[in-house]
Amino acid sequence: MKLWYETPYTKQAQQLSERLAERGVQIDLQCTDKINAKFLRLHPELALIVDGAGVSLTAQGMKMQPDWKAETGRLKRASLKSEMLARACQANDSPTLIDATAGLGHDTLLMAKFGAKITLVERHPILYTLLESAYQQAQQDTFLANVVQNITLVFADSAEYLQQASAVDVVYLDPMFPQREKTAQVKKQMQLLHMLLPEDGEMDLGDQLLEHAKKVAQRVIVKRPRYAVFLNDEPPQHQWLGDACRFDGYFQ
C-alpha cells in the first residue's frame, strides 16, 4: 500500500512503515510537497497519509482517521441517561471489559470515559496502526489522557484472543454489518472502512465471536443495526433499542 507524506513528516512516515512491515503490511513510501483536497482527488486509490494531522486513510478524495479529539464534546456531555451503550455495559461500575471489535475505537472511548477498564482488540493491521496513533495523540490531550488511561490496545484476532483471555465482566461486540445506508454522517468513515476491510460478500460477520465471548464474560453486549438479525441467530435475553441501532444482551 502507498503511504504519502509531506517532507517535514519523513521520520514519522518511516517509523510507521517499519511498524506496518512488522505487522505484515508492505508500504511504498511516497514523498510529496503538499497533501490537500486537490491532491487527494488526483490520487483516488486507497492509501495512507502522514501530515500535520497524523496518520489517515484516504481513497476517492476522502480522508479519515479515528479522530478521538473530535469525540471530546460527546464524551463530556455523555450521561448514563443519554448513552444506552454505557447502560448496557454497566460502564459506570468500572467493569473489566474486552471490546473485541475495536474499529475506530469510538464506542470504547465512551465506555472508558465512564470508568470501564478496557482491552481494545483489533485484528486489521492498518486499522490497528491508526488506533495506535489516535491513542498516542490522546495521551497528549489534557481531557483525553484521563480517558485513554483506561484503555489497553491489543493487535490480535479476537476469535483467538478470547480463547486464552482471563475472565472479565463484559465483552462488547460490534462486528461489521453490510452497510446499506449511504447518507449518514458515518458515511465517509464507513465507506473507507468498507474499502479497507473485506467486501460484504466475504465479510466475517463475527458469528463465532459470541460463543467465545460467552465463555469469558458474565455479560456480552452486541451492537446491531435496529432491525438486523441476531448475531449467530441467537436471541438475546435483553435488548436496548435505539432509533438506528440496538444492543443485545446475553447474560451467563
Ligand X SMILES: C[S@@+](CC[C@H](N)C(=O)[O-])C[C@H]1O[C@@H](n2cnc3c(N)ncnc32)[C@H](O)[C@@H]1O
Q: Which is nearer to ligand X, 208 or 239 (CB)?
A: 208
Q: Which is nearer to ligand X, 29 or 203 (CB)?
A: 203
- Chain centroid, CA 117 distance in Å: 16
Sheet containing 238-241: give its strands across. Answer: 151-155, 117-122, 96-99, 168-173, 217-225, 245-251, 238-241
Per-residue cell: 160: 483467538
Under the phi-then-psi rule, with left for phi > 0, alpha for psi from -120 to 50, and beta for the rest, what region is 51?
Answer: beta
In the complex, which residues of this chain contact ligand X (CB under 6 A)? 100-107, 121-124, 127, 157-159, 174-176, 197, 204, 206, 209
Residue 6 CB, shortest distance to ligand X, in Å, is 27
Residue 110 CB, shortest distance to ligand X, in Å, is 8
Residue 7 CB, shortest distance to ligand X, in Å, is 31
CB 111 within 8 A of CB 85: yes
Q: Which is nearer to ligand X, 47 or 89 (CB)?
A: 89
3-class secondary-structure state, position 19: helix
Let me know the angle formed at the C-alpha of 179 by 16 and 108, rounded to the nearest 5 degrees: 50
Q: Which is nearer to ligand X, 25 or 176 (CB)?
A: 176
Residue 107 CB, shortest distance to ligand X, in Å, is 4
